[in-house]
Amino acid sequence: MGQQLGRRSWAEPWKIKMVEPIHMISREERQKAIEKAGFNTFLLRSEEVYIDLLTDSGTSAMSDRQWAGIMLGDESYAGSRNFYHLEEAVQSYYGYKYVVPTHQGRGAEHLISQAVIKPGMFVPGNMYFTTTRLHQELAGGTFVDVIIDDAHEPSNTHPFKGNIDLDKLQALIDKVGADRIAYVSLAGTVNMAGGQPVSMANLRALRELCDKHGIRIYLDATRMVENCFFIQEREDGYADYSIAGILKEFCSNTDGAWMSSKKDHLVNIGGWLAVNQEDVFDLARNMVIIYEGLHTYGGMAGRDMEALAIGIAESVNDEHVRSRVEQVRYLGQLLIDWGVPLMCPVGGHAVFLDAKQMYPHIPQNKFPAQTLAVELYLDSGVRSMERGIVSAGRDPDTGDHRYPALELTRLAIPRRVYTQAHMDVVAESVKAVFDNRESSLGLKMVREPQYLRFFQARFERIQPDVDG
Ligand code: P71
């Protein structure tokens, strides 16, 4: 151990005022629970979970100020004062002109996709995200991955693995023509690549290329403050910038953004779409009424919008972002020190275990990352999420599984929720599962929903004498 030896540690810039008891059920109970859940961690009840690292989405702890904001909810149907506070926060921290509130990120993805993608168009981006791509496809678009090749290699330590490969983008433009490109779908700290950032230099070069061809850039700003931390830490010239300053500069090179506020903004529900073009805004503001709610609440209560507006200001606090990312890195570094294979460098919101490398004896169509999530739950009640072949789904044209290069199990860390001792318990459990890796045989899928199958799919254990 000795992690702390010879260093000056960071610590969380808060103290705990309220606690929620958690409890680990017995091994036999966990065995029953995971069988009942069809070996899918999404189908467990949260009472059956000890440390919940399924997602960092909507699971953060709000501050005392945000809770105070909840009491200031103006629950008017139209023109709630909390909406104007939210609008002002988005405009001042992100710099976009027009804001449309939505109930969460996918509501905003739906609006932007329907507003700007026409059937037959292409949407290049730095790796797919499940809901984002689905909305792009439902609008008639085809997503094209133009992330740099380094992003697909878990042990590659490129500091900005989220970068766009401009040659790949240029090749797509040459092939289909700029007018058939709906926009570039650019994500900060790319989720499916392990929470890897995009550099400011890459964005500037992308802006130049897009300007040459009249292509817009829309940003998935969901975990953008973590991306800004990596720019501050790793990119020349940004060490003395604040997170807020980097965020503003980054967004100024894009045409708009959609946001799942359930991540960076430290709230349990909420999101928005913000753009600089009046025509796109007009359409999105009109459509939000059909799908989410009036354009001054978009599916949120007034109190939700107040907590969100306060959360935006808290999310760019430098000490907060540092302690958030350093906690994730603390967990990752323990595992790296113990030889557990994972996605490097450790990303902003989660540690992604490399199930392909951990289970070389389990072929990808027997779901190594899903298997790892099951073993981890059985060992310690820690809940994680598959981010591999199950998440990738099927190719809409051929109907075959998509076989992604990355077969990962994600340990996502909620913000301001768990302590370093929780991280130690998680790391020790991963190590125990890793040490016992040869006994795992994989799973077979016995129920497969049509959309976003990973949420509701059911599995059974492979029996060596029956399934081979
Ligand atoms: C995460 C989630 C939630 C989730 C979504 C789909 C499958 C499993 C879990 C949501 C994101 C995200 C990015 C980069 C848009 C959304 C949708 N992430 N962009 O990671 O990470 O936002 O959930 O608020 O609708 O667990 P939404």
Over the chain, what is the mean pLDDT? 96
Residue 389 and residue 443 in contact, taking contact as beta carbons nearer than 8 Å: no
For residue 467, name the pLDDT band (cuts at 50, 70, 90): low
Centre of ligand 1 from the C-alpha of residue 438, in Å? 32
Q: Report the C-alpha gap between 424 and 459 in whole angstroms.
A: 30
What's the gap between Cα 96 and its chain centre?
22
Residue 404 and residue 388 in contact, taking contact as beta carbons nearer than 8 Å: yes
Instruction: List, for residues 430-461, the tens digit of each pLDDT value.
Output: 999 999 999 999 999 999 999 999 999 999 99
Predicted pLDDT of residue 176: 98
- Residue closest by Cα to atom 15 of ligand 1: 105
Closest by Cα among 201, 248, 193 to 224 = 248
Centre of ligand 1 from the C-alpha of residue 132, in Å? 8
Going by the DSSP 8-state scheme, the letter that residue 258 receives in this structure is E
Residue 249 and residue 93 in contact, taking contact as beta carbons nearer than 8 Å: no
Predicted pLDDT of residue 399: 93
Instruction: List, for residues 305-314, the tens digit of each pLDDT value.
Output: 999 999 999 9
- Residue closest by Cα to atom 9 of ligand 1: 55
> 119-145 burial, b for 16+ CB within 10 Å, e for fewer?
eebbbbbbbbbbbbbbbbbebebbbbb
Q: Report the C-alpha gap between 325 and 341 in whole angstroms.
A: 20
Give me the amino acid identity at 366: K
The Cβ of residue 65 has, within 10 Å, a number of other Cβ atoms equal to 12
Ligand 1 pocket, Cβ-based, cut-off 6 angstroms: 55, 57, 104-106, 129-132, 187, 191, 220, 222, 260, 262, 271
The Cβ of residue 198 has, within 10 Å, a number of other Cβ atoms equal to 27
Q: Report the C-alpha gap between 266 and 50 in whole angstroms.
A: 21
Predicted pLDDT of residue 468: 54
Percent of the chain with pLDDT over 90: 95
pLDDT above 90: residue 2: no
For residue 10, name the pLDDT band (cuts at 50, 70, 90): confident
Closest by Cα among 148, 153, 51 to 413 = 51
pTM for this entry:
0.96
What's the gap between Cα 131 and its chain centre?
11
- Residue closest by Cα to atom 13 of ligand 1: 222
Active site residues: 77, 129-130, 220, 263, 387, 454
Q: Is 340 left (phi over 0), alpha (psi -120 to 50) or beta?
A: beta
Instruction: List, for residues 153-186, the tens digit of each pLDDT value.
Output: 999 999 999 999 999 999 999 999 999 999 999 9
Predicted pLDDT of residue 185: 98
At 340, is the secondary structure helix, strand, or coil?
coil
pLDDT above 90: residue 44: yes
Q: Report the C-alpha gap between 327 and 309 in whole angstroms.
A: 25
CA distances (Å), origin 159, targets 189, 234, 251, 267: 11, 7, 20, 29
Q: Is 242 left (phi over 0), alpha (psi -120 to 50) or beta?
A: beta
Residue with tokens 């092939």: 175
Q: Report the C-alpha gap between 387 and 23 in whole angstroms.
A: 26
Q: Report the C-alpha gap between 371 and 459 in whole angstroms.
A: 10
Question: CA 85, 87, 89 angle in degrees (round to 5)?
Answer: 70
Instruction: List, for residues 390-407, the tens digit of each pLDDT value.
Output: 999 999 889 999 999 999
Centre of ligand 1 from the C-alpha of residue 204, in Å? 26
Going by the DSSP 8-state scheme, the letter that residue 47 receives in this structure is G
Predicted pLDDT of residue 3: 63
Instruction: List, for residues 329-357, the tens digit of each pLDDT value.
Output: 999 999 999 999 999 999 999 999 999 99
Residue 347 and residue 335 in contact, taking contact as beta carbons nearer than 8 Å: no
Q: Report the C-alpha gap between 284 and 251 in whole angstroms.
A: 19
As a whole number, mean pLDDT of residues 242-257 equals: 98
Which residue of 134, 185, 191 sits with most ligand 1 atoms within 8 Å of its CB, as the best mutation to test the pocket?
191
Predicted pLDDT of residue 315: 98
pLDDT above 90: residue 143: yes
Strand partners, 106: none
Question: CA 394, 398, 403 angle in degrees (round to 5)?
Answer: 45
- Residue closest by Cα to atom 12 of ligand 1: 222
Percent of the chain with pLDDT over 70: 98
Centre of ligand 1 from the C-alpha of residue 105, in Å? 7
pLDDT above 60: residue 1: no
Predicted pLDDT of residue 180: 98
Centre of ligand 1 from the C-alpha of residue 395, in Å? 20
- Residue closest by Cα to atom 17 of ligand 1: 105
